[in-house]
Structure 1
Amino acid sequence: MTRRAPLAPTAQFKQSMFQIPLRLLSTSIGRKVLMSITGLLLVGFLIVHLLGNLTLFMDDGGATFDAYSDALVSNPLLPLAELGLLLLFAAHIALGLRVSLQNREARGEPYVARATMGQATPGSRTMLISGLLVLIFLVIHLLDFRLHGGEEVHESIAAQVIERLRGGPGALIYCLGMAALGLHLSHALRSSLQSLGLADTRCYPCLARAGRFLAAVMALGFASFPLYFFFINKA
């Protein structure tokens, strides 16, 4: 019998790196870890997205927001970034659905955060529902701004965005979507850090407050755009 030659160190490293996500996907804890990682990465994207959108409030006729948008659109790495973001969303959604089904199969046993805390919160009880509502909002949001963004080519990007935010139905859908996002994020920080093993039981109250604060900042931050342009700056 011939013995297989051992792999070179570089080949062993590549093989082990490829096997890590597969091993994580094969266990319930691993799936929660991956869901937490993708979720935290998406939160990072949302923070950057919010900071960029805040330039809409600058009193310069939308010039800063247009420059910010043009810099993104003209970046040659944009298609790669969009693909990575799409994969992140797809992975987080798929893992979230799998973890939710996994919890239901366990005779309604609560998610790991609830199991250790001994109590449920509105955010923890509605993670699946709020996540699906955020997904529906994202689809509507992308269809609106992507498919119809080029109709008024004579206007700046900022003018097109503001015009849509001033519409009653659009503003309402946007605010409802942000309410769902806030509800989802209110439980996300604590549960993500706990699933990653980065949270001690003594830190749970602080993490819960930090999670609610983050959720409020993100939800109110994004909702401030339609509220401002619909109720205050109607000119």
Structure 2
Amino acid sequence: MSWVTKTLNSTLGRKLLMAVTGLFLILFLTGHVSGNLLLFRGDGGEAFNMYAKFMTTNPAVKILSYLTYLSVLAHVVYSIALSQRNKSARPVAYSTTNASPKVSWASRNMGVLGTIILVFLVVHLQGFWAKMHFAEMPIVTIGGEEYKDLFTIVQAAFQQEWLVALYVIAMGFLGFHLSHGFASAFQTLGLNHKKYSPAIKAIGNFYCIVVPALFASMPLYIYFTS
């Protein structure tokens, strides 16, 4: 068995992989929310459709996309593996009434939060990513060039109250997931120091509120303005 296999099969190795993939996905979320802010531009979706085409045709972005898919898969698989190992090591669950007050609700329920986010991700990919890549799409012409009209698909989708509610609720769960995962990833990587940890925690708290709030505001904006 190679040292790589041994590392990935160890608890520490799995935690390290969770931390690395988690931070990579945080970077992905930052880029994703930044691009999706074009939905607020009020230009009939021109900038958003141009952005969508760039994100699906640029070679460098495609490579990053594959890394994102692998990161999501690894993050999910190793989170399940860690949960199972923890349950095996502790066959009798701790009483919730005896839980340490220093342990946050998000920390105790990362598995549940992750599962909810995964279900939401499947709905999201089916509704937009799969259509953009594989379905027949309406076409618009911008500056003499044809673009798939993803903006119209997004507008139509967010006229459905249940879908808007799902996105808003899911972003709340994402915020809780990030509230623990952000600082935890840095701690796992050994970046835990009394001089820097408060700043990392503050940035994490800011991030876990602002980014999910921006994502949640998009379906609400489209629903109330379209």
**Which category of TM-score, normalised to the shorter sequence, fits these structures?**
0.7 to 0.9
Q: Does 1:185 align with 2:178?
A: yes
Structure 2: segments with no counterpart, 5+ residues: 141-148
SS at match of 1:59: coil
Q: Does 1:56 align with 2:39?
A: yes
User: Quick one: higher RCO (CA 8 Å, sep 6+), 1 or 2?
Assistant: 2
Kindly tell me: are residues 88 and 20 of structure 1, through their superposed partners in 2, closer, same or farther at Cα, counting changes over 3 Å?
A: farther
Contact 2:137 2:150 in 1 (8 A): no
Instruction: Write the letter of the residue equivalent to 2:155.
Output: I
The separation in 2 between residues aligned to 1:208 and 1:79, in whole angstroms, is 32
- Please identify, of 52-61 and 200-209, the stretch whose mean Cα deviation from structure 2 is larger: 200-209
Contact 1:103 1:109 in 2 (8 A): no
TM-score (structure 1 length as normaliser) = 0.80
Deviation at 1:109, TM superposition (A): 8.7
TM-score (structure 2 length as normaliser) = 0.83
The separation in 1 between residues aligned to 2:199 and 2:60, in whole angstroms, is 38
Contact 1:190 1:207 in 2 (8 A): yes
Contact 1:127 1:184 in 2 (8 A): yes
Residues 17-67 of structure 1: per-residue CA shift (max 9 Å, x gap): xx5643421321121111100100011011000000001111211111111
Paired residue for 1:228, among 207, 216, 221?
Answer: 221
Paired residue for 1:166?
159
Let me know the Cα RMSD of the aligned residues: 2.6
The separation in 2 between residues aligned to 1:60 and 1:151, in whole angstroms, is 23
Deviation at 1:127, TM superposition (A): 0.6
Contact 2:182 2:204 in 1 (8 A): yes
Contact 1:183 1:215 in 2 (8 A): yes
Q: Does 1:145 align with 2:138?
A: no
Structure 1: segments with no counterpart, 5+ residues: 1-18
Q: Identity of paired residues, percent?
A: 33
Deviation at 1:104, TM superposition (A): 2.5
- Size of the aligned set, in residue pairs, is 211
Q: Does 1:41 align with 2:21?
A: no
Compare CA radii of gyration and give the structure with the larger one.
Answer: 1
